[in-house]
C-alpha cells in the first residue's frame, strides 16, 4: 500500500491530515518533529511526505534539507503544509527541494490532488530506477555474452589454425630429426676412427708404429669418408639450427598472438604484432597467395589491447586468403596477392590489408560489420569476425575500420588507431574519406 508520512507537531492537525490521506486509500504514518520524521523516513521509506514548516527543535525547511542531502531519501517527494503563504516562503521551500506546497487551512480536494501528483512522481522515479536496474543487468549479460563470443571466436580461430601451425612446425622438425639421426650414424664411424688414431698415437709415442696398424687407420679413414663428413656435417648442423630457430620463431609468434594481456592498453609494436599473426596464419594463405609486406619503420608504439588487435588482424588476413581462394581455387592456377602495409599519419597509425580476391558485392556492403552476417555456407562461418573487429577497433580503441572494394578486383580493409589514448587527447576524424588513404585501383 502507498505510505504517506505526515510530519506535524500539532496532534489535531496531524489527525486531520491523516483522515484526508486515508480517504484516498493511502496508509498514513505520523511524526511529531523533525528528528522523528527523519528516522521514520529511513525505517518506512514512504512514498510521499507531508511536512509542516513551523516546528520546534527542527524546522520543516531544515528537515527538507536533511532529506535532500541523503541519497537514500532525496527521491521521496515532499509537500510542505504551511500557514506561511507569502511568495518568499513558497520560493524558499521550493528552492530547498520541495515537490509542492499546501497552505493551511487546506481543502481536502487540493491536498488530495497535489498528493496524487507527488505519488505519481515517486512511482515514475521508482519505475525508472527499476528500468535502469534491468538495463544494467541486460548490459552486463550482453557484455558477458560478447566476452564469451570473443573468447569462442579466438578459440575457434586458434583451433582452425592448429593444423596449419602443426604443419609449419613439423617441416623444420622433420629435417632437425633427419639431421640428428645422420649425425648419430656418422658418429659411430668417427668414434671408430678416433679409436684407431688413439692407438696410432700411442704406438708412435712408443716408437713402434707397425705397418698393419697404419693400414688399419687408413682403412678407418676411408670407411668414415672424412672428406664427405667435413662437407656434410656442418650443413646438417646449420640446417638443424635453422630448423630450431624456425620452430622457436613460430612458438614466439603463437605466444605473442595468444597473450591474454592484463585488460589494459599497453604500448604495442604494430609491425611486430602483425608479423607474428602472419607467421601463425601462414598455412592459411601460403598456397593461394603471395604475401607482400610494407611496414613503416617510423611507426610509433600504439596503445592497444594486443590480444584483441591480433584477433582483428587474423580475421582480416584469413578473410583475404578466402576471398583469393574463391578466385584461384587451390592455387594450382596461380596465386593472388595479400598486401599488408602500415604507416603513420599524424596522430594515427594505419594498417591496410588488401587482397586480389572477389571484392564485396554492392548489395551487402552495408551489412558486413553486422553481427552474425555472413556470406559463407552454413557451418563455415559464424558472422562474428568482422563485427568483432569493428567492436574492437571502434569501441575499445576509439579507432576507425573501413574498406574499399571493387567487384572482381579485390578489397582493402583500413584500420586506423590513435597513437595516443583517444579518451584523453584524440578524437576520431570526421566521417567521409580518410585523409591520405589511396583508393583501390581498378
pTM of the model: 0.53
Cell of 20: 484526508
How far is it, in rounded angstroms, from Cα 63 to Cα 26?
23
The pLDDT value recorded for residue 317 is: 92
The pLDDT value recorded for residue 441 is: 34
Tell me which residues of the chain have a pLDDT lower than 50.
378-383, 424-442
Interacting residues of 27 by C-beta distance below 8 A, sequence separation 6+: 1, 2, 3, 4
The pLDDT value recorded for residue 36 is: 92
The pLDDT value recorded for residue 260 is: 61
How far is it, in rounded angstroms, from Cα 222 to Cα 149?
66
The pLDDT value recorded for residue 431 is: 38
Cell of 394: 571502434
Task: Reply yes or no on domain 259-418 having CATH 1.10.10.10.
Answer: no
The pLDDT value recorded for residue 105 is: 81
Burial class of residue 395 (count of CB atoms within 10 Å of its CB; 0-12, 13-18, 19+): exposed
The pLDDT value recorded for residue 437 is: 35
The pLDDT value recorded for residue 191 is: 81
Task: Reply yes or no on domain 3-106 having CATH 3.40.50.300.
Answer: no
How far is it, in rounded angstroms, from Cα 320 to Cα 340?
11
The pLDDT value recorded for residue 351 is: 96
Mean pLDDT of all residues belonging to the chain: 83
Residue ranges of the domains in the chain?
3-106, 170-244, 259-418
How far is it, in rounded angstroms, from Cα 415 to Cα 394?
10
Amino acid at each position: 500500500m502507498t505510505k504517506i508520512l505526515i510530519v506535524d507537531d500539532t496532534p489535531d492537525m496531524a489527525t486531520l491530515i491523516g483522515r484526508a490521506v486515508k480517504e484516498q486509500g493511502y496508509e498514513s504514518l505520523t511524526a511529531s518533529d523533525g528528528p522523528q520524521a527523519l528516522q521514520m523516513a529511513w525505517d518506512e521509506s514512504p512514498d510521499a511526505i507531508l511536512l509542516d514548516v513551523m516546528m520546534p527543535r527542527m524546522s520543516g525547511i531544515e528537515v527538507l534539507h536533511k532529506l535532500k542531502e541523503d541519497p537514500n531519501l532525496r527521491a521521496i517527494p515532499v509537500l510542505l503544509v504551511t500557514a506561511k503563504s507569502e511568495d518568499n516562503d513558497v520560493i524558499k521551500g521550493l528552492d530547498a527541494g520541495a515537490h509542492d506546497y499546501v497552505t493551511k487551512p487546506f481543502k481536502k480536494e487540493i491536498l488530495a490532488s497535489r498528493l496524487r501528483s507527488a505519488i505519481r512522481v515517486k512511482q515514475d522515479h521508482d519505475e525508472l530506477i527499476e528500468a535502469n536496474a534491468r538495463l544494467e543487468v541486460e548490459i552486463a549479460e550482453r557484455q558477458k555474452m560478447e566476452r564469451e563470443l570473443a573468447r569462442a571466436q579466438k578459440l575457434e580461430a586458434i583451433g582452425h589454425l592448429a593444423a596449419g601451425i602443426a604443419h609449419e612446425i613439423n617441416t623444420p622438425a622433420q629435417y632437425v630429426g633427419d639431421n640428428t639421426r645422420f649425425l648419430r650414424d656418422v658418429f659411430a664411424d668417427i668414434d671408430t676412427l678416433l679409436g684407431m688414431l688413439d692407438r696410432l698415437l700411442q704406438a708412435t709415442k712408443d716408437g713402434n708404429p707397425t705397418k698393419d696398424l697404419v693400414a688399419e687407420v687408413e682403412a678407418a679413414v676411408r670407411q668414415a669418408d672424412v672428406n664427405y663428413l667435413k662437407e656434410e656435417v656442418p650443413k646438417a648442423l646449420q640446417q638443424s639450427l635453422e630448423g630450431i630457430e624456425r620452430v622457436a620463431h613460430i612458438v614466439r609468434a603463437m605466444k605473442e598472438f595468444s597473450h591474454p594481456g592484463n585488460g589494459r592498453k599497453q604500448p604495442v609494436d604494430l609491425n611486430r604484432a602483425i608479423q607474428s599473426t602472419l607467421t601463425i596464419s601462414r598455412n592459411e594463405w601460403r598456397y593461394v597467395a603471395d604475401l607482400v609486406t610494407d611496414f613503416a619503420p617510423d611507426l610509433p608504439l600504439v596503445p592497444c589491447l594486443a590480444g584483441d588487435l591480433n584477433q582483428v588482424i587474423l580475421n582480416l588476413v584469413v578473410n583475404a586468403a578466402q576471398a583469393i581462394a574463391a578466385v584461384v581455387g587451390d592455387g594450382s592456377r596461380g596465386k593472388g596477392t595479400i598486401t599488408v602495409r602500415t604507416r603513420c599519419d599524424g596522430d594515427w597509425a594505419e594498417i591496410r590489408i588488401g587482397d586480389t580476391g572477389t571484392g564485396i558485392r554492392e548489395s551487402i556492403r552495408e551489412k558486413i560489420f553486422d553481427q552474425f552476417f555472413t556470406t559463407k555456407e552454413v557451418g563455415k562461418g559464424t558472422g562474428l569476425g568482422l563485427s568483432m573487429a569493428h567492436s574492437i577497433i571502434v569501441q575499445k580503441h576509439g579507432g576507425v575500420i573501413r574498406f574499399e572494394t571493387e567487384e572482381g578486383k579485390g578489397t582493402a580493409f583500413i584500420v586506423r588507431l590513435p597513437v595516443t589514448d583517444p579518451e584523453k587527447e584524440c578524437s576520431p576524424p570526421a566521417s567521409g574519406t580518410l585523409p591520405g588513404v589511396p583508393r583501390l585501383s581498378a
